[in-house]
Amino acid sequence: MAKKTKARKINEGKLPRWDQTTHDMRADVGGMEIIRKKKLKRYRRYVKASVVLFPLTLVLFVVFLMLNFQEPEQKSSAVASVDSPTKATASSAMTAWLEGSPSPLPGGALIGWDGVISSLQPQVVKENGEETEQAGLETHQFTVRAKSGQLFHSTVQVTWTDALGTTVVGAPSLEPIMRDNEATAIDMVQVWPGHKVTSAPDGVEPAIDVWLQSYVSGDSNKIRLAIKDPIQEHNYFPLTQVSKATVGDITHFAPKPDDSKQGLARVNVSIIWDGTPIDTVNQEFIGGETTQAFDVLLQDVDTASPTVVAWGGTGTGQDLTPYKNAFEDRVLDLKSAPFFSEDEVNQRMKASIDQFNKSGGGNNSAVAPKKKEG
């Protein structure tokens, strides 16, 4: 009895038995299997990712090596640019060529620099262990005009290095520019996108003339009255020192698509500045007529009395709004800031009279216009 009591005490003290330990180990087998499967799944993902990324990484590595460790080469692809360190040298060469004696284009003039095409950039190249500076190469493009009005393309090629500077390597040449059919081109152009061009109503030209005469009057108040601006504080900057202004062709007219009462017009106007001599026999100005073009916005174009309410240079028509040209809170002193000084007016007038009289025009009948009062 004593032995059984001891065994019972041992069991009651929860000492581990072999069969109990085996059961606990078997219970852990399921958890270990789950962990093993998760690891296996993770390894499979790594393998799949490696299959995809390894070739891509290899390609990128090869490209990196090609871009960073290849021998430098002279790039011969031409690239257009709007500026260049050799522009001054090329422009001077073109001007000297036109002014040469004899001139390649008698009476010709340089209209402008059109741009440059860079074929090569100066760079240091390693060859046989030695560094050599190779020159850059650029071709400058110009437009020149003959005395007759014919336009030409011309080019100047230059080479340069940082150490030796710029050198012209080719004389210019002339390539005639084909003249466009201006009438056809104007008819095809939609000068104000979204606006349908039509013929101008009868009242448009007189309305433009009313505005023009106020615009060249030198008086801000006359402009405000002519365009019917209701705001007394609005001021306008007029043209001054104008002897005569006339309305020319109205090349385009279009009602505004969102407002049938408004319309846009493009008009050519002729301006004769003060100082232009007058032929006393015919009572006409002798030359001096210049042409300007404006886009103007008109109000009440659906009536017999439209009014110009805004104006600007060609191409600004779509942005015009009524009385956009007005300004406030600024002092307008036209007398202290004329467009031309009195000496400039007198010199231009004297030169025109002398040229007219030497040509025998009017038998010395050209005189200066009377000075406007006020």
pLDDT digits (tens, 9 = 90+) for 224-255: 999 999 999 999 988 888 888 999 999 889 99
Which residue ranges form the domains of the chain, and what is each CATH number? 79-176 (3.10.450), 183-367 (3.10.450.540)
Q: pLDDT tens for residues 248-293?
A: 999 889 998 888 899 999 999 998 888 777 766 666 776 667 889 9
Residue 368 has pLDDT above 60, yes or no: no
Measured distance CA(110)–CA(321) in Å, rounded: 38
Nearest Cα to Cα of residue 363 among 279, 283, 286, 275: 279
The helix (run of H) or strand (run of E) holding residue 279 is strand 278-279
SS (H, E, C) 97-124: HHCCCCCCCCCCEEEEEEEEEEEECCEE
pLDDT of residue 273: 82
CB burial readout 17-39, b (16+ within 10 A) else e: eeeeeeeeeeeeeeeeeeeeeee
Q: How far apart are CA 205 and CA 102, in angstroms?
A: 50
> Per residue in 120-170, pLDDT tens?
888 877 777 787 778 888 899 999 998 888 899 999 999 888 777 888 987
- Tokens representing residue 131 in the block: 């560094």
Residues 6+ apart with CB under 8 A from 71: 126
Angle at 86 between CA 82 and CA 87, to 5 degrees: 50
Task: For 242-271, give the DSSP string.
Answer: EEEEEEEEEEEEEEETTEEEEEEEEEEEEE
What whole-number distance in Å separates Cα of residue 293 and Cα of residue 251? 10
pTM value is: 0.54
DSSP strand pairing (109-120 vs 136-145): antiparallel
Confidence (pLDDT) at 18: 47
Give the pLDDT score at 181: 57
pLDDT for 75 equals: 45
Q: Which residue has the higher pLDDT, 47 or 356?
A: 47
pLDDT of residue 254: 92
CA–CA distance, 312 with 297 (Å, rounded to integer): 9
Contact (Cβ atoms closer than 8 angstroms) between residue 199 and residue 252: no
